[in-house]
Copies of this chain bind each other. A is one copy, B any other.
Amino acid sequence: MAGHSAGTEIERLIQLLSRLPGLGPRSARRAALQLLGKKETLMRPLADALQDAADHVLTCTTCGNLDTTDPCSICADGRRDKGVICVVEQVADLWALERAGANSGQYHVLGGTLSALDGVGPDDLNISGLVTRVSGSDVREVVLALNATVDGQATAHYITDQLEGSGANVSQVAHGVPVGGELDYLDDGTLAAAMKARRPF
């Protein structure tokens, strides 16, 4: 709340801004003031961009990516390898891999991980969609790019079981020392995983 001095329009704006991740009540007030000081160059363009994106952005029914077309531009891109599907938890992970140029194949967004604690079961994730995509297709490899957390790994095991007999090989991204990382600053789990997965030099 900005206090009773600000109009309800401002209070409502601050209240909505404070629901964005990374913005608390104080930074939402700062953001609102910045926006009100740049009505034509920032505030109205942002309002339009929000409206446009809300109107035009769809979830790809094939892979779960967000795009303005369905199928999305990745699924529709004939130059990408149809034989490889990279499985990620969230659209943000897909974007990260695309920024890195790390995958020239397709994607499949699960929408989360299995989690006993949070009550997330297989039916809450887009796993059956993955099995359907893979079975009876010419997909030869499913690359699991899930987070290296307990829930991520449990999900990886579950998916591997489900894809048994589908004809596709299931692989997983390597876990180890991050590029540029210093051993001294890494946690024990990462070091143990990196040592266990050592390769000929």
Contacts and interface: CB of A to CB of B under 8 A. Distances in A.
Contact of A27 (B10, B22, B30, B65): B22
A122 interface: no
Contacts of A74: 5
Contact of A57 (B9, B23, B94): B9
A31 interface: yes
Interface residues of A, number: 59
A39 B52 CA distance: 11
Nearest to A27: B22
A49 B5 contact: no
What secondary structure prevails in chain A residues at the interface with B? helix
A67 B5 contact: yes
Interface stretch (A12-20, A113-121, A162-170, A177-185): A12-20
Contact of A50 (B3, B7, B13, B72): B13
B13 A95 contact: no
A150 B99 CA distance: 45
A21 B34 contact: yes
Nearest to A55: B9
Contact of A22 (B22, B54, B66): B22
Contacts of A6: 66-67, 95
Contacts of A19: 42
A99 B3 contact: yes
A104 B20 CA distance: 33
Contacts of A51: 44, 47
Contact of A52 (B9, B17, B23, B98): B9
27 contacts: A1-B99, A3-B99, A4-B73, A5-B67, A5-B72, A5-B95, A7-B56, A9-B52, A9-B56, A9-B57, A13-B49, A13-B50, A16-B45, A20-B23, A20-B31, A20-B35, A21-B31, A22-B23, A22-B30, A29-B92, A33-B90, A33-B91, A36-B54, A43-B50, A44-B51, A47-B48, A50-B50
